[in-house]
Amino acid sequence: MEIAVALLAVAVVALAVQLVRSERELRAIARFLVARDTQSNARVTVSVHTRGFVRLAQAVNRQLDRHQGERIAAEEGKRDLRRGLTYLSHDIRTPLAGAQGYAQLVAAEEDEALRARYLDVVGRRLDDVAGLLDQLYAYAQVQDPDHRIEREPVNVNDVLAEALASLYTAFKERGWEPAIELENDPLVASSDADALARIFRNLAVNALRYGCDAPSIVQSGRTVTFSNRVANPQDVNVERLFERFYQGGAARTGEGSGLGLAIVEQLAKALGIAVSARLDGDVLSIALEFPA
């Protein structure tokens, strides 16, 4: 009997010691989490190596890793946004400065032919600015959580044809004629004609701006693919192609905002269209797969 009591007393003491150690360990973890700098790489360690405390430390450290990853991604996003806005501001100021310079030449020039030439340049520079602002506004729209897109049955082939026709002059100036292959049976999808037209125009403008020759546009089943050769395929990162302000390795010329393909991805997502890009040699292809 005395032995049993003694053993019980030892067990109680051991349990009490374990509880005290556990309490201290929990307090230590709590103090660490409260005092820890959010920028720190420090992680939770334990001196009580029971299965429960080890698992607790692992779970807390996983959360700290996740939060750190999110923080780093957010900081990178902010840096990219600031850098992109700086580029965009430069891209807007450049044609504006050019337009202002030619406007001054118009005011001082008496030769009507030269005045007309200068006015034409002014108009083109202002068109560049209008295009940049239009892309910026469109991107802001697709980022607005309150922006709603109304879907209805749409003949995708007709929208594509109209979008390409609106860029006829731009293709003619490049001396390009897009190779278009459409199936006899029109592709009909539940979509928004205006949003879809912007997707097609942005893809065509991307080919005009960064391609080496006329693009090919192929409709096969429920997929429409834009393909064109690019001058420096080694500078094209298809993983980043749909990021805002991304322009590959191309020098910024004031002709683009870097928002065109970001808008394509956001609008496609809103319409339930799967968009993907691939690079085969020097041929960049962007495919739109419409839902059934």
β-sheet bridge partners, residue 216: 179, 227
Mean pLDDT, to the nearest integer, of 165-175?
Answer: 91
| Same-domain check for residues 105 and 29 | no
Average confidence (pLDDT) over 173-181: 93
> Domain span at residue 59?
2-71
Nearest to 156 by CA among 215, 228, 233, 225: 225
Spatial separation of the C-alpha atoms in residues 214 and 278, rounded to whole Å: 18
Mean pLDDT check: name the lowest of 63-67, 78-82, 159-163. Answer: 78-82
- Report the distance separating Cα 217 and Cα 226, nearest Å: 5
Q: Considering 90, 114, 143, which residue would you say is the last residue of a domain?
A: 143
- The reply to whether 164 and 285 lie within a common domain is yes
Asked if 190 contacts 154 with a C-beta cutoff of 8 angstroms, the reply is: yes
The alpha carbon of residue 203 and the mean position of all alpha carbons in its chain are separated, in whole angstroms, by 15
* Same domain, residue pair 85 and 210: no
Instruction: Report the chain's mean pLDDT, rounded to a whole number.
Output: 83
% of the chain beyond a pLDDT of 70: 87
Higher pLDDT, 110 or 160: 160
Please report, for the domain that includes residue 133, its CATH number.
1.10.287.130
Looking at residue 254, its pLDDT comes to 45
Sign of CA dihedral 260, 265, 268, 270: negative
* Co-location of 189 and 256 in the same domain: yes
Residue with tokens 């990853």: 69
More confident site: 256 or 57: 57
Output the pLDDT for position 21.
73
284 & 262 share domain: yes
Residue indicated by tokens 């993907």: 276
Of 44, 71, 98, the domain-final residue: 71
Give the pairing type, strands 283-289 and 188-191: unpaired
Domain count, the chain: 3
Do 130 and 241 lie in a common domain? no
Phi/psi of residue 154, nearest 5 degrees: -130, 135
Eight-class DSSP state of 222: T
Res. 177 pLDDT band, cuts 50 70 90: very high
